[in-house]
Amino acid sequence: MILRLVVLLSGHGSTLQALLDAIASKQLHAKICAVISDQPHAFGLQRAHQAHIPCHVISRKLGRTRQAFDDILQQCMSDYQPDLIVLAGFMRLLGPRIVDAFAGKIINIHPALLPKYRGLNTYERVLASKDKYHGSTVHIVTQACDAGPNLAQVRTPIDANDTVDSLEQRVKQLEQQLYPRVLQWFAEQRVRQQGDHIYLDGVLLPKSGKIFAPETLL
Ligand code: GRF
C-alpha cells in the first residue's frame, strides 16, 4: 500500500528530506500529503515547498491557548486522513487528545537509545556520561514523552574525540536511513501493536525494538 503521511517538523528538515529521497527512490512507498510546522521560518518548510507538498504553519501565537493550538493541529492533520503522523524534529509535545485521536499512528525518531535520555540535549548528556554507545530510536508516540514502545534502534560507538557536532552528524546519517526503513514496514503492513508489545511479521520485538547494525543501513 502507499502510506499517506503527514509530517510535523520545527527545524532544518533533514529528516523530511531523507523521507522525500526514500520515496523518490521507491524505498518508501508513501505519499507525504502535508507538512505542518509550528515554526514559520523552519527550513523544512522550504524543502516541502520545493517538493510541492502542501504546508501549514500552526504557531503558538500570543493569546492562543494550548488547547486551541491542539484543536487546530488535530483538525489540520485529520483533513488529510493520514495513515501515519510522522514526527521529524517537531519540538512541541503533542497534547493528550491528539495522541488519543491518532493512537498507534504517531511515529517519532529520537536521537538516543531509549529509554535512556528522553527529552532534549541527548548529545550533551551522553557525552557527559560514561556511555560507550549512542544512537537513535524510532518509536510509537504515547502520552509520556519519548516513552512509547520502540520499533527500532541503531547504535554507534562513542569515540573519545567525539564532540556534540561529530556525534550528531554520525547519528543523523544513520537515522535518516533508519526512519524510512521502519516506515516502510507499515506500508508493507508488517507491524502489529498490542499494548506495549510490537510484533514485526508476527514476531514480538525486544523492548529496544529491532536493532540495526550501522553497516546494514549505510
Ligand atoms: C533529528 O535528528 C531527530 O532525531 C530529532 O530531531 C532531529 C531533526 O532534525 N527528533 P532535522 O530538523 O530533520 O534536520
Which pTM was predicted? 0.97
Instruction: Tell me what the pLDDT averaged over the chain comes to.
Output: 96
Of 89, 11, 86, 8, give the one whose Cα is nearest residue 44. 11
Cα distance between residue 30 and residue 16, in whole Å? 13
The fraction of the chain above a pLDDT of 70, given in percent, is 100
Is the model's pLDDT at 19 over the cut of 90? yes
Among 21, 109, 113, 124, name the best residue to mutate to test ligand 1's pocket (greatest count of ligand atoms within 8 A of Cβ). Answer: 109
Residue having the nearest C-alpha atom to atom 8 of ligand 1: 89
For the stretch 196-206, pLDDT in tens is 999 999 999 99
Quick: pLDDT tens for 134-159: 999 999 999 999 998 999 999 999 99
What is the structure's pLDDT at 204? 98
Give the pLDDT mean for 184-211: 97
Is 134 in the active site?
no
Helix (H) / strand (E) containing 199: strand 197-200
CA-to-CA separations, 2 to 31, 53, 62, in angstroms, rounded: 7, 16, 38
What percent of the chain is modeled with pLDDT above 90? 95
CB 24 within 8 Å of CB 37: no
The order of strands in the sheet holding 203-204 is: 191-194, 197-200, 203-204
Name the catalytic one among 110, 134, 139, 197: 110
pLDDT digits (tens, 9 = 90+) for 74-117: 999 999 999 999 999 999 999 999 999 999 999 999 999 999 99
Q: How many angstroms is it from 14 CA to the middle of ligand 1?
A: 7
Q: Predicted confidence band at 61 (pLDDT cuts at 50, 70, 90)?
A: confident
Ligand 1 centroid – CA 102 distance (Å): 21
Q: Whose CA is nearest to atom 2 of ligand 1?
A: 172
Distance 108 CA to ligand 1 centre (A): 10
